[in-house]
Amino acid sequence: MRARQGTKTLADLVGKAMTPACRKRGFASVDILASWPTIVGDRYGERVQPDRLIWPRKAGEDGEMTADPATLVVHTDGPTALMLSHEIPQLIQRINTFYGWAAVGRIKIIQRPVVRKHKEKPRALRALTGDEEKRLEDHVGSVENERLREALKKLGAQVIARSDDDDS
């Protein structure tokens, strides 16, 4: 009998697929792109987009490649570029803290429109029928802890309502 693999998060699966595309743009992985709003904060999370990292290609005295910091190219609109230009040292520090080393030494700002992601609002779930509520109560009724029972009931109601919506 084959052992069942643990579940994988969507981020793990998408990250592996996106990594080659990110490497073409100079990013070692998709991590900085996925974490961008967290790194730069609410002010710039949706108004500034990282475009690529430009790594210097100069050799050291003994012919080995040096680990000089990269230039991060970002794009944003004009007013945001002005605000961002005053906060570049703090932004570089936050990015390098994310990487854990001095990966970025300079930020180059290109002014062009930013494509904003529209967040979809979740659809309202339908109400459960009397039979569905009774069946759900039968399943969770034996749970002694009241808070756990209520949480399971709420989760079960959402699963039942969504599963029927997906079938239609």
- Look at the pTM and tell me if it is higher than 0.95: no
Tell me what pLDDT residue 48 has.
92
Condensed to tens digits (0 to 9), the pLDDT of residues 61-106 reads 655 555 688 899 999 999 999 999 999 999 999 999 988 888 899 9
User: Among 2.60.40, 3.40.50, 3.30.300, 3.90.79, what is the CATH number of 10-111?
Assistant: 3.30.300
Q: What's the helix, strand, coil split of the chain in %, to 5?
A: 50, 15, 35
Element (H, E) at 90: helix 88-99
Buried b (16+ CB within 10 A) or exposed e, 90-107: ebbeebeebeeeebbeeb
Inter-CA distances, 87 with 34, 92, 167, Å = 21, 9, 50
Q: Locate the domains of the chain by residue range.
A: 10-111, 130-167
Which residues, including other chains, have CB under 8 Å from residue 20's CB and lie 6 or more apart? none
Condensed to tens digits (0 to 9), the pLDDT of residues 11-53 reads 455 455 545 544 454 455 567 788 888 999 889 988 999 988 8
